């Protein structure tokens, strides 16, 4: 089935690189109007917008710290003002600040929880009312296998990603009768700038545990997001879809 998002409006947080960029690309390629946020990479955001527009897509780019509740509201309001509706919200923005518990600082904890988890609250809260009124919408939140399995050195990251799963299941139960689905994609090891920071040893150890024997491409994650946001997944909500080559089974 070809997924067609013509006339659909999509908002993706953290869209200028890695998984977020692949998601933005895939939605634009499927005909959607795509808005994306970025924290500070203005040049990359402008280049992405120009590239997508050259391919005929309608695009909006917003500089916005996903951890800011007020900024999330402003972004959603601007999308609604421009396009009149919000069909799909993808909460992708995320960071790591790894370290064993003993060395983890309060700042490391707050930065990761606010960027990865509070951001999901921020944007879902802003999208809640418009999607409820439309009586349709799809929210897809990007968690991680680490939120399911845990990982030494990532207590803050794992807590944020496990939090996303509990949040999403609760919201799915709140919004189900309004025709809004809320699902989670939990990627395993994806080849992006985020994992480029890992040591060769850590990367090899992780790959050794992946039955499919390769890291995910950002596009592998994007395909799962598009599916969950499409009418083909209309009867799926509160689900955690692992895109991890079999890592967490």
Catalytic residue positions, numbered: 157
Whether the Cβ atoms of residue 147 and residue 99 lie closer than 8 Å to each other: no
155 is an interface residue for ligand NAD by CB under 6 A: no
Query: Is residue 83 within the footprint of ligand NAD (CB under 6 A)?
Result: no
Cα of 64 vs its chain's centroid, Å: 15
User: What's the closest the beta carbon of residue 225 comes to ligand NAD, in angstroms?
Assistant: 10
- In terms of CB distance, is 41 or 132 closer to ligand NAD? 41
Contact between 26 and ligand NAD (CB under 6 A)? Answer: no
DSSP 190: B
Q: Per CB under 6 A, which of residues 52..81 are in contact with ligand NAD?
A: 65-67
**Tell me, what DSSP letter sits at residue 117?**
I
Nearest to 189 by CA among 173, 177, 211, 207: 207
Note whether 245 binds ligand NAD by CB under 6 A: no
Residues with Cβ within 8 Å of residue 191, at least 6 apart in sequence = 215, 216, 217, 218
Vertex 241, ends 235 and 246: CA angle to 5°? 140
DSSP state of 66: T
The residues, ordered by sequence, that sit 6+ positions from 129 with a Cβ below 8 Å of its Cβ are none
Q: Which is nearer to ligand NAD, 9 or 115 (CB)?
A: 115
Question: Cα separation of 113 and 155, whole Å?
Answer: 10
- Pick the binder of ligand NAD from 56, 193, 199, 213 (CB under 6 A): 193
Q: Which is nearer to ligand NAD, 9 or 92 (CB)?
A: 92
94 is a contact residue toward ligand NAD (CB under 6 A):
yes
Using CB under 6 A, which of 16, 122, 154, 237 touches ligand NAD? 16
Report if residue 107 touches ligand NAD, rule: CB under 6 A. Answer: no
- Smallest separation (angstroms) from ligand NAD to the CB of 103: 21
Residues that bind ligand NAD (CB under 6 A): 13-14, 16-20, 37-39, 41, 65-67, 92-95, 115, 142, 144, 187, 189-190, 192-195
């Amino acid at each position: 089935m070809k997924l067609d998002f013509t006339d659909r409006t999509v908002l993706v947080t953290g869209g200028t690189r890695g998984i977020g960029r692949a998601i933005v690309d895939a939605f634009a390629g499927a005909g959607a109007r795509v808005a994306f946020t970025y924290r500070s990479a203005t040049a990359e955001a402008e280049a992405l917008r120009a590239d997508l527009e050259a391919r005929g897509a309608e695009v909006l780019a917003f500089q916005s710290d996903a951890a800011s509740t007020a900024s999330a509201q402003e972004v959603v309001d601007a999308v609604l003002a421009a396009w009149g509706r919000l069909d799909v919200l993808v909460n992708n923005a995320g960071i790591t600040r790894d370290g064993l518990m003993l060395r983890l600082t309060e700042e490391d904890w707050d930065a990761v929880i606010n960027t990865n988890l509070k951001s999901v609250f921020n944007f879902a809260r802003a999208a809640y009312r418009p999607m409820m009124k439309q009586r349709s919408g799809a929210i897809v939140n990007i968690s991680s296998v680490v939120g399911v399995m845990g990982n030494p050195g990532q207590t803050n990251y794992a807590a944020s990603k496990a939090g996303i799963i509990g949040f999403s299941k609760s919201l799915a139960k709140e919004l189900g009768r309004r025709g809004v689905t809320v699902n989670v994609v939990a990627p395993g090891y994806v080849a992006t700038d985020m994992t480029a920071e890992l040591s060769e040893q850590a990367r090899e150890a992780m790959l050794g545990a992946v039955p499919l024997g390769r890291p995910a491409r950002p596009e592998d994650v994007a395909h799962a997001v598009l599916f969950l946001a499409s009418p083909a997944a209309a009867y799926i909500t509160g689900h955690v879809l692992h895109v991890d080559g079999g890592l967490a089974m």
